[in-house]
Chain A
Amino acid sequence: MTKLEAPEKSFAGEGMYREHILDHYQHPRNFGEWKTCSVQHTELNPVCGDQLSFQLNVDEKGKVMDVHFNGQGCAISIASASLLSDEIKGKTMVQIQKLDKNGIQALLGITLGPARLKCAMLSLDIVKNACLIYQKYGKGGK
């Protein structure tokens, strides 16, 4: 018979809300909003109502110099956004497109089940799409 039981890890155990995740949730880094930036992008996770906005400042070579984000969400989505915002500083848009779910889970330091992975991936989806918009339309976004 096919084994359907999820691995114990996705039950997350006591590990899911480790101190650094709670810290990034309660004191998110790079949290705020600029009046102007190179590109800004917002996305919503309609299933849970979480909504995040990312603002990037990009230099001529396509390197992310600085980042701000704001919005609302669960601990996993806010902590992921906060960790990601630090991670992408100094990275080029090409490098950012290479980030994936393994990278996000490595930043969080936990493995997530499919439902919570959606929370964790919201910020990376937004940042990647923001980069694509910048590459297509240049400064100011669409």
Chain B
Amino acid sequence: MTHVQQNSFSSIQKEFPILSRKIGKHSLVYLDNAATTQKPLTVLKAMDAYYRLHNANVHRGIYRLAEEATLAYELAHQKTADFIHAQSMREIIFTRGTTDSLNMLARMLSSSVEKGDEIVVSQIEHHSNLIPWQQLANAQKAALKFIPLDKKSGMLDLSRIDKIITSKTKIVSIPHVSNVLGTIVPIKEIARRAHKVGAVVSVDAAQSVPHMPVNVRSLECDFFSFSGHKMYGPTGIGVLWGKESLLNHLEPVSFGGEMVREVYYDRATWNDLPWKFEAGTPPIAEGVGLSAAIDFLQKQGMEKVRAHEKELVKYAYDKLFALKNISIYGPEPKFRSGVITFNATPVHPHDLASLLNEKGIAIRAGHHCAMPLATLLNISASARASFGIYNTQQEVDLLVESIKKAQSIFSGGKRAVV
């Protein structure tokens, strides 16, 4: 059967220099996009040009380079604001990444949580949207409650949400897309319940922003965190978006240069938003890289990006599902983003990752930074293939063929290859 490639991004691999690299004698097939994505040439060139032509510290110098660097850095905030439909760039705080955003937010909100209050997360959290809240709850003697996973459907079970999010709930922090199951979480539905009881809603959007159109206002959340390096931009930069009305009333948690207006030996006043939350020299070159990544994604169109990955994940899911001795975790394709976590019995995920590596295929093996979820699913480890804009059906075919071969090697080679 010949499958016609419906990929509207058929020539996009050429824009990513690393994708022409060989692994041994094989072409690289990069399927670990939930961990980090590769970078298009435009991002590399933008950062290179910044260092070659414009490098200076921002918001200080009155010389030409400093003005250029400041403009570029502020433009990165504006582009990010536009990309997620924020009200203004005052709502865009640059951080080191999603983990940093969530940790910072937990510290910013710490004084609003008191003994006996409740913080709500879900059972499918990445460690970075679990531990900051777990530690805050422990420190304040608050309760940490969980929206359960419905193991059968792979979706969050919202049937008892009114019992979980109560008048004692101060913070609800949930993922937009699960990094293990690929589940797309209905943010708006949960946010409405949270707002009814006066809680604030934070969203871990590390796995959604690179893969689907996102509008923070129509999601009705209050805070929204994501990473540059998972959206074809550089490492070392992430975003914390917050509603301006809320950010105005929150105190900074990191102090030093940049974030101040007036400083005396015994006190200080803070700079305007968003700078009051960005202490020290910020990630300027990374901001320039993030701008270029946003330009790149907007050129493709996020609707098209989502359509491509939706089609690809369905194709991969169906092909994997047809294999013998395979367990796939999480919801059916229409409810998931481009992530498929699975086990191919009798091959241990580490062995599978090694065998796929021999074919130049990069996948993830392990607990994917979600140990409690792995325990809940009763698996010690699993394999994960996660897709991006440049992946193709041919690559999925190669993945599936290589999994079959790995299974046959571990079945003593006696099992017929289907």
Contacts and interface: CB of A to CB of B under 8 A. Distances in A.
B380 A76 contact: no
Contacts of B303: none
Interface string B346-357: 001111001101
Contact of B409 (A22, A73, A116): A22
B214 interface: no
B412 A26 contact: yes
B410 interface: yes
Nearest to B413: A22
B282 interface: no
B410 A75 contact: yes
A16 B354 contact: yes
Contacts of A22: 409-410, 412
B358 interface: yes
Given A73-B348, A116-B350, A48 B366 contact: yes
B365 interface: yes
Interface stretch (A6-14, A59-67, A134-142): A6-14
A75 B23 CA distance: 23
Given A48-B366, A49-B374, A11 B350 contact: no
Interface bin, chain B? 20 to 34
B103 to A, nearest CB: 21
A86 B354 CA distance: 26
Interface string A35-55: 000000000001111110000
B371 interface: yes
Interface in B309-341: none
23 contacts: A12-B357, A16-B355, A16-B358, A17-B354, A17-B355, A22-B409, A22-B410, A26-B410, A26-B412, A48-B349, A48-B350, A48-B365, A48-B366, A49-B366, A49-B379, A49-B381, A50-B381, A72-B380, A74-B348, A74-B350, A75-B410, A76-B350, A116-B350
Interface of A: 8, 11-14, 16-17, 22, 26, 46-51, 72-76, 116, 119
